[in-house]
């Protein structure tokens, strides 16, 4: 399985600022933890033919992987539940805690592909879910941009501080 860390290009401004300020580089590494975690291959939207009103989305929230289960009733009402996605004993075994019980999730198929034909299958309870085509790359790309944005915003603080230090005292005082 290819490492996704090499897949995403870091913004030029963020790269430049990380080279000048080591804390920004450390921040980027901390935010990008997901790129080396096997759960990264589960990111995206999962669908099930047997449960057409259920959709599972997996993404990164703060410092963990979040599994959101959306259940739409026949009347169109949507209910959702949120669960931390935990690593199991292998890169193909995961679990969530649902209503106080451990629910195992097994993955089979080709993890490097997406879609119902050639991609992975998530076995959850007695149901099979397929990874919707294009959703993994979209969610991963969005997460990589969010990581860059967070570092870029912090970098702006470094720029403000350095500009304030370089200005003479007279220019800082308003008349």
Does residue 160 fall inside a structural domain?
no
> In which residue are the tokens 């099979």 written?
128
Is position 159 within any domain? no
User: How far is it, in rounded angstroms, from Cα 107 to Cα 126?
Assistant: 13
How many domains does the structure of the chain reveal?
1
Instruction: State the pLDDT at residue 173.
Output: 47
CB neighbour class for 92 (10 Å; exposed up to 12, middle 13-18, buried from 19): middle
pLDDT at 119: 86
Output the pLDDT for position 166.
Answer: 62
Is a pLDDT exceeding 90 seen at residue 139? Answer: yes
Boundaries of domain holding 41: 9-154
Per-residue pLDDT of 26-79, as tens digits, reads 999 999 999 999 999 999 999 999 999 999 999 999 889 999 999 998 888 999
Could you tell me if residue 127 is inside a domain? yes
Region class of 74: left (phi > 0), else alpha (psi between -120 and 50), else beta: alpha
140 within a domain of the structure (yes/no): yes
Per the rule left: phi > 0, alpha: psi between -120 and 50, beta: everything else, 22 is alpha
| pTM of structure | 0.81
Q: What is the pLDDT of residues 104-123, one digit of tens each?
A: 999 999 888 887 777 899 99
Tell me how far apart the alpha carbons of residues 39 and 155 are, in angstroms, rounded to a whole number: 29
Judge whether 132 lies within some domain: yes
In a domain, residue 116? The reply is yes
Q: Which tops the pLDDT comparison, 165 or 44?
A: 44
Residue 167 placed within a domain: no
Q: Are 76 and 58 in contact (CB under 8 A)?
A: no
pLDDT of 160: 73
Would 23 be classed as within a structural domain? Answer: yes
The DSSP call for residue 10 is P
Q: What is the CATH classification number for the domain harbouring 51?
A: 2.40.128.210
With 60 as the cut, is the pLDDT of residue 5 above it? no
């Amino acid at each position: 399985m290819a490492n996704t860390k090499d897949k995403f290009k870091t913004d030029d401004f963020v790269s430049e600022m990380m080279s000048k300020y080591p804390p920004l580089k450390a921040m980027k590494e901390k935010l990008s933890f997901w790129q080396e975690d096997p759960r990264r291959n589960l990111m995206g939207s999962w669908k099930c033919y047997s449960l057409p009103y259920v959709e599972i989305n997996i993404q990164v929230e703060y410092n963990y992987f979040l599994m959101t289960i959306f259940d739409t009733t026949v009347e169109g009402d949507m209910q959702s539940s949120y669960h931390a996605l935990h690593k199991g004993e292998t890169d193909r075994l995961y679990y969530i805690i649902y209503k106080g019980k451990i629910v195992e999730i097994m993955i089979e198929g080709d993890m490097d592909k997406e879609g119902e034909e050639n991609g992975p299958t998530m076995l959850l309870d007695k149901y099979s879910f397929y990874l919707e085509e294009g959703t993994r790359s979209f969610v991963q790309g969005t997460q990589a941009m969010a990581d860059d944005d967070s570092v870029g915003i912090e970098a702006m603080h470094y720029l403000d501080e350095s500009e304030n230090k370089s200005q003479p005292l007279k220019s800082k005082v308003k008349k």
